[in-house]
Structure 1
Amino acid sequence: MKIFLVGGAVRNKLLNLPIQDKDWVVVGATPEIMIKKGYQQVGNNFPVFINPNNGEEYSLARTESKAGKGYNGFITWSTPDITLEQDLKRRDLTINAIACDEKGNLFDPYNGQYDIVHRKLRHVSSAFNEDPLRVLRVARFAASFAHLNFRIANETKKLMYQMAKNGELSDLTVERVWQETSKALMSNNPQIYFYVLRECGALNILIPEINNLFGIPSPAKWHPEIDTGIHTLMSLTMSAALSNSIDVRFATLLHDVGKSLTPPNKWPSHHNHGKLGVSLVKSLCNRWRISNSITNLAIIVTEFHDMIHNIEHQPIESLVDLFNRIDAWRKPYRVEQIAIISEADARGRTGLENIYYKQSRYLLFTFKLALKVSTKKLIQQGLKGIQISQELNKRRIQAIKKGLIKNMK
């Protein structure tokens, strides 16, 4: 019985990156041997055990064969005579198919170290195309390691394209798609994930709401980059620089989806695209079963983002109405989120990446002024029900106006 550290932990160690989780492979053992040694079995489809001393997962070396559609359509074998090389062969990328024994010796039958040095994301074997989830995983790794100059090998790109063309991706569950997408959104360069999926034909299958934006023009006066799909991913790039919140990054990704509903004869104008886009946001979030907090912010941003760009010219009454509609009094963090997303939208444009976006400062400043109005005082004065909300609106409007005048002096 031999135990090897495998996968991401070995890869990250070679890249001098933090190690998040450790996965272990056990060669030459059976479930009975593992249980006798005190390991706790948790896997049913294939033997996975928890080491009670460190809580880490130990899997018996195994092989797999495709027996059905989708991510779960596999038959696995785990016997004591399965070698480490056989186990590593079933993995997705060569950089994830390196093992390390307890003495620090590396076992690298598929040249993962070579690909680490040459910054290549390359599939281990032709078995790659048996698992459609690997298309998303490669796109995610491309996003996660783009800052280290990793690129997808041409032969792997071709295989990903063929998998998308063959319809394999349609068998993926929504849970798996969102799991990989959410991880990609939190990477250093989330835009790369969507570029990769589009290049191989997967974006149109999995996220048509984003894919449909490419090729749709916006006015050059406001969007020097013209293409709405390019602008969307430029905005996502900017949001990743401004925030590490998945809520913010996801809302940024979807803010312009309504432009896909503009009739071509109206291009490049996109009147009312914010409200039109709300239905698309709701549909995607329902399909992927995304949490309410992420969904609600995406809906708010999609509907109101254009208002923020000319917020200094909005009546103060409209500004207070906006705060009411986004439930800012109970959820004040939403104002800061919207400010960040609006800035990402404004700076996600060719040549405008470094502009000073004063609108976000105005939004935050006016909200701070409105917060000074005390609800408690109104209740103490005997106001009730709708009287409270009406008086609150009135006083908040007054507070903002007074604060702005004072700030101008």
Structure 2
Amino acid sequence: MKIYQVGGAVRDRLLGLPVQDVDYVVVGSTPEAMLAAGYRPVGKDFPVFLHPRSHEEYALARTERKTAAGYKGFAFYTDASVTLEEDLIRRDLTINAMALGDDGQIIDPYGGQADLAARVLRHVSPAFEEDPVRILRLARFAARFSAPGQEFSVAPETMQLMRNMVAAGEVDALVPERVWQEIARGLMEQRPSRMIEILKECGALARLLPELLRLWGVPQPLHYHPEGDTGVHCMLVVDQAAQRGYPLAVRFAALLHDLGKGVTDPAAWPAHHGHEALGVPLTDAVCQRLRVPADCRDLAVMTTREHGVCGQAAILRPATIADLFQRCDAYRKPDRFRAMLLAIECDYCGRTGYETREFRQKALLEAALQAALSVDAGAVAKACTTPARIPEAVRSARIDAIRAWRKSTDLPTGEDDGAVCAAS
């Protein structure tokens, strides 16, 4: 029996990156021998065991055979005769198909070290095309390894293979939960736009997120958007969210915030009046289709609907601001409202030349919300003699609080603080 470290742990060591999780492959053993050695079985699809002391996972070397469409359609074979090379050849990318022996030697039968040096993502064997999840994984790796000047490219033959998989309908067989899982992980990588670019290039984006794909080629007013193209803008926005270290819900909202621009009247382009309302059903449809968790769904829908009005905060009346808070349930969920402002901040800064500019509407709305939250709604209700008028009395008190705060503040006005974001 021989034990090897495999996959990401070996790759990351060679890249000089921190090693998070270590995967082990056991060659020359059987389930019975593993049990006799004290390992505890945990695998359902193929034999995986927990080490009796470290509780790390050890998988028996295996081969696999495609039996049906999708990523679950596999039959696995494990036996003491399965070699390390046979196990590695079934893996996705050459940079993930290396092993490290207990003697410190790298076993690299498929050129992973050369591809690491060349920063190329290349499939190991034609078996890649049997698992459509690998398209998403490759795109996610591209988003992870994307430091400026150190981006990984996709080998031309691998890109063609992925296009063939899309054409064959393999991507359509993916279950929504797995698609969301991989997209969510990709959004949390260093440069999420790289993931989207790969999916777009191979054709998978058209199957998974057609609402987003529609944005490329949609023009925007150059005065507000020097980058010109709506799809390009959305990539800048989601990368802003990543660079700022914002959480998943904010990054997802940043990605989808402008879906409505894909369905505005082309005769009016580059203007996109009303795109916020048009985008709401599109954002909701994406979330329903991918079964997106409620926190990410709610923030994405709210950001799509409200990013235009929030961009005009400096010129809004106190009553309009109070109604915005009410509409967003900000009095009960102020942290979610603040998270939306983070996504809208990325919308503002996700434009060529605006990357480091201050989004002053964020601080303005945060302060206005704090003023509105200072109102004791219970005391207002108690003082109201007509129960039916309590909601309006509370609303009026909050408007008065926002108005009083505004009078005490020297608010900036002008194009940069209002109309620019309204058009974004």
Structure 2 Cα separation of the partners of residues 272 and 315 of structure 1: 20
Task: Please name the residue that 2:320 is paired with.
Answer: 318
Note if contact 2:384-2:390 (Cα within 8 Å) is conserved in structure 1.
no
Tell me which amino acid in the other structure corresponds to 1:262. T
Distance 1:288 1:176 in 2: 9
Aligned amino acid, residue 298 of structure 1: A
Per-residue CA deviation, residues 277-310 of structure 1 (Å, 9 max, x unaligned), is 1111111111111111111111111111100111
Tell me which residue corresponds to 2:238. 236
1:160 aligned to 162, 175, 194, which one? Answer: 162
SS in 2 for 1:58: strand
2:126 partner amino acid = S
Task: Write out aligned runs for 1:131-150 (5 A).
Answer: 131-147=131-147, 148-150=150-152
Identify if the C-alpha distance between structure 1 residues 399 and 15 changes in structure 2 by more than 3 Å, giving closer, same or farther: same
Identity of aligned residues (%): 44
Is residue 291 from structure 1 mapped to residue 302 from structure 2 by the alignment?
Answer: no
Counterparts of 1:351-370 in structure 2 under 5 Å?
351-370=353-372
Given that 1:160 and 1:200 are in contact with CA atoms closer than 8 Å, whether structure 2 keeps it comes out as yes
Q: What one-letter code is carried by the residue in structure 2 that aligns with 1:11?
A: R
Counterpart CA distance in 1 for 2:317 and 2:15 is 54
How many residues of Structure 1 are paired with residues of Structure 2 in the alignment?
409
Residues 1:104 and 2:104 aligned together? yes
Residue 338 of structure 2 aligns with which residue?
336
Q: Secondary structure at the match of 2:211?
A: helix
- Determine which of 200, 203, 211 is the counterpart of 1:201: 203
Counterpart code for 2:238? L
**What TM-score results when the alignment is normalised by the length of structure 2?**
0.92
Amino acid corresponding to residue 373 of structure 1 in structure 2: V
Q: Work out the CA distance in 2 between the residues paired with 1:104 and 1:382.
A: 77
Paired AA for residue 211 in structure 2: E
Question: What is the aligned partner in structure 2 of residue 169 from structure 1?
Answer: 171
SS at match of 1:64: strand
Residue in structure 1 matched with residue 420 of structure 2 by the alignment:
none
SS at match of 1:146: coil
Contact 1:242/1:340 (8 A) holds in 2: no
Q: Which moved more, 1:305-314 or 1:390-399?
A: 390-399
| Structure 2 gap segments, 5+ residues each | 412-424
Alignment of 1:15-54 (within 5 A): 15-54=15-54
2:418 aligned partner: none
The reply to whether residue 278 of structure 1 matches residue 280 of structure 2 is: yes
Deviates more, 1:68-77 or 1:379-388: 379-388
Q: Post-superposition shift, 1:386?
A: 4.8
Instruction: State the distance in 2 between where 1:137 and 1:12 align.
Output: 16
Gaps of 5+ in 1: none
Deviates more, 1:46-55 or 1:210-219: 46-55
C-alpha change, 1:311 and 1:51, in structure 2 (3 Å) is same
User: Residues 77, 317 of structure 1: CA spacing in aligned structure 2 closer, same or farther, 3 A cutoff?
Assistant: same
- Contact 1:12/1:19 (CA < 8 Å) preserved in 2? yes
Deviation at 1:371, TM superposition (A): 1.8
More displaced, 160-169 or 316-325? 160-169
| Residues 15-24 or 383-392, more deviating | 383-392
Root-mean-square deviation over aligned CA pairs: 1.7
